[in-house]
Amino acid sequence: MLNNYYVTTPIYYVNDRPHIGHAYCSIAADYLSRFNKLAGRKSFFLTGTDEHGTKVAEAAEAASKTSQQFCDEIVKHYGKAWKALGLENDYFVRTTDDRHAEAVVKLLEVLKKAKTPDGQDVIYEGFYEGLYCTGCEKFLTETDMVDGQCPVHKTKPTQLKERNYFFRLKPYLPIIRELVESNKLVILPEERRKEVLGLLKVDLPDFSISRESVKWGIPLPWDKEQVAYVWVDALPNYISAIGYGDDPNQFETWWDKSEVVHLLGKDILKFHTIFWPAMLMAAEIKLPDKLFLHGFFTVNGEKMGKSAGNMIDPIEMIKIYGTDATRYLLLNQYPFGVDGDIKEKDFVVRYNSDLANDLGNLVSRVAKMMVQYTDGKIPQPQENISGQEELMELAVAAPDRCYDHILNFRITDAVNECLKLIRGTNRFVENSAPWKLYKEGNIKEAGGVLYSAAELIRIVSILLSPLMPEKMSEVRAVFGLDQSTLTLDSARRWFELVEGTEVDIKESIFPRLDAKTVPALVKPKRTEADAAKKDSDEATGLITFDQFGAADLRVAEIVQAEKVEKADRLLKLQIDLGTEKRQIVAGIAEFYSPDDLIGKKIVVVANLKPAKIRGVESRGMLLAAKEKGKLKLITVDGDISLGASIG
């Protein structure tokens, strides 16, 4: 095993703020990195953001920002969330960074000169025509789609034909297949490995590495009219962040001489397990050692999304449970790697059961009995205490069992090893009853029970420290322990607590939460009564005063009008609201010529959410009446100020 350990998350797309889906994979990577450091290895943990492409440019335009401004704003939210979650990443890569762009250009230049194993150019020019999903930023085949739509975004792809440069993939497929079959390229879990082997049996086409129509990205060094396509821009983040473009020594340390591990979601399997290895082989760069592809999760039984109202902000969760408990709860709702469901109601149940009751109460109970029975100091260890030998054997074996789980990505199993120790220690204390021993005058034996219980807590504090570093530091402080002995080797040993050390317990490590007072992270859905009332109102067509008052109706004057290109029914209007000028798009070209509209005072809905109509932004809507094929604008009679409110 190489001493250096390099673990990465996927880089997250900046189309919105981070949620617990992003946090899930990032906490897992942080946990793996910290545990390997605990085992004495040097570790480098990378995460970051994917900031180029059409989707980002469109989101920026909709927000009236430049693409870079939009990215900078979203990235600040990632920085805030990752800090709140206690992530100890060594680098945060951004695909808009100059350092990353330089590395991408270097890789592209290497690939442009490279030859395939059968002597052909790796990169060649051609035309691509197909169905393109902007949301996925990839072309789809007919077999990819469901009912003619992208299965992920539920939208109909656009037919697109453009000049591109391509990566010649086919010569590398047999090599990749042999590597996967022999487990020289480790892909986990096993079902993901089988999925990759299934893909390699299909006649996969060469893939495009550039786009002519996309402008927000890194230009190809030999053709500035072409921008590097998302995967050729995004995937190299794993090497750009560790010096591929500018620091050969760093790159050698963390890529060539490290165990390289990619954590990612199963939705980007093909790109990471086939495209990425092929690119690296063509550039004569070592392949990653392991790729672990975790599953998807739902929230309260529903797919996570804005429309469902169940995209949980990790910072809001931290406000309720704290940093370490949030890390614990997100990683332990179901086995790591499989598809699962995050049940919000289980958060408080697991918190109280595992953390407040099992661990928190154990620490408080043992420490308070030491204060009461052993003068507030670590007592002397004793031999021949019933149940102690079995617990010691379980404890000293736990570190290696945990580390084996970590090396094989069985994260939930590693945590469960600790829970077994905690619950075993609680049973040991309960069965040994040191309070009875003390009352009966068996003071040394009572002290021996408490010493063994504290030793087990010490071992647990080490094994859980990669997941809950702050809280385990608090646990260790209770028994006079600092960070100098926070190693896996120390967890393998017994009798590490020093007799006579002061014990200091002030407040509970994990205060119990009242489920009745814990605020909901996911807004509750409407009740049947609410739905019935709404349906009744809708059936009668009635609205409330509040509903009517929500529309901000104002007087505006049309100061300019023109037709919208390639849209026979649309006119683009510039209107004056008195305090501001705006642009709206209206479907009135059949009834009014642009010249007829200049100077008309109309009524507009001023607080309508901006929208794009045929690519033209519209900030408001005019009111008009339509009857029997005729349309008339609602205008204002008499002299009234622009911007005057109606209602």
Render the burial of 617-637: b for 16+ CB within 10 Å, e for the rest.
bbbbbbebeeeeeeeebeebe
* Cα distances (Å, whole numbers) of residue 95 to 52, 230, 265, 612: 7, 10, 19, 28
219-220 and 223-228 strand pairing? antiparallel
Alpha-carbon gap, residue 360 to 511, rounded angstroms = 8
Q: Cis link prior to 18 (omega < 30° from 0)?
A: no
Q: How many CB atoms lie within 10 A of CB 433?
A: 13
Alpha-carbon gap, residue 445 to 458, rounded angstroms = 20
Structure tokens that stand for 55 in this block: 């989707």
Active site members: 19, 22, 133, 136, 150, 153, 303, 306
Residue 242, phi then psi, degrees to nearest 5:
-120, 25
Contact 273, 196 (CB under 8 A): yes
The CB-based long-range contact list for 577-582 (8 Å cut-off, 24+ gap) reads: 577/604, 577/606, 577/642, 577/643, 578/641, 578/642, 578/643, 578/644, 579/643, 582/556, 582/619, 582/620
Q: Give every CB contact of residue 102 below 8 A, 6+ residues apart in sequence.
A: 240, 245, 246
Exposed (0-12), middle (13-18) or buried (19+): which is 307, by Cβ within 10 Å?
A: exposed
**Which ranges in 252-387 belong to alpha helices (H)?**
269-270, 276-282, 314-321, 323-331, 344-350, 361-373
Alpha-carbon gap, residue 472 to 153, rounded angstroms = 42
What's the full length of the chain, in residues? 647
Q: Which helix H or strand E contains 83, and what residues bound it?
A: helix 67-84
**Which ranges in 433-566 belong to alpha helices (H)?**
434-439, 443-463, 469-478, 488-491, 528-540, 545-549
